[in-house]
Amino acid sequence: MRRADQRRAAVVALYQEDLTGRPLAELIPRDATPFTRDLARGVVAERDGLDALIERHAVDWPLDRIAPLERNLLRVALYELLHRSDVPDEVAIDEAVEAAKELCAADAAGFVNGILGSAQRERVAAR
């Protein structure tokens, strides 16, 4: 299974958790790969920090105004940027933007790209 598909599986589980409030363990498919499980669990563990980062870079867009699917695409990509050294920054950003193009509203890809690009530049500058 391609990593892009594994990322999307994590996003879908997190999206469902956001909407239903059900435990993530019930929402991750039984046949999910370790990569999918790590992404989803990692996002849950780091959610507060990821959300704070999203809010800092989503100027004039409080977290609750960001569509749940876009919010979870951002969370997964930011988790990869910050906590997965095996994923190049460009790949995490590109995968999130491509998923937004396919799954979200027309303007979502630009929004996702802007937030992730800003967060990535801030991260690089802080090194």
**Beta-carbon neighbour count of residue 62 at 10 Å?**
9
Nearest Cα to Cα of residue 71 among 61, 85, 81 = 61
What's the pLDDT band for 1 if we cut at 50, 70, 90? confident
Span 62-75, pLDDT tens digits: 999 999 999 999 99
45 pLDDT more than 90 = yes
Query: Please, what is the angle between helix 68-83 and helix 34-57, to 10°?
Result: 100
Mean pLDDT of 70-82: 97
User: Residues of the chain with pLDDT > 70: what percent?
Assistant: 100
What's the pLDDT band for 127 if we cut at 50, 70, 90? confident
- Provide the whole-model pTM: 0.95
What's the pLDDT band for 27 if we cut at 50, 70, 90? very high
Residue 61 Cα distances to 1, 52, 65, 115, angstroms: 35, 12, 6, 11
Q: What is the CA radius of gyration of the chain?
A: 13
| Architecture of the domain delimited by 3-126 | Orthogonal Bundle (1.10)
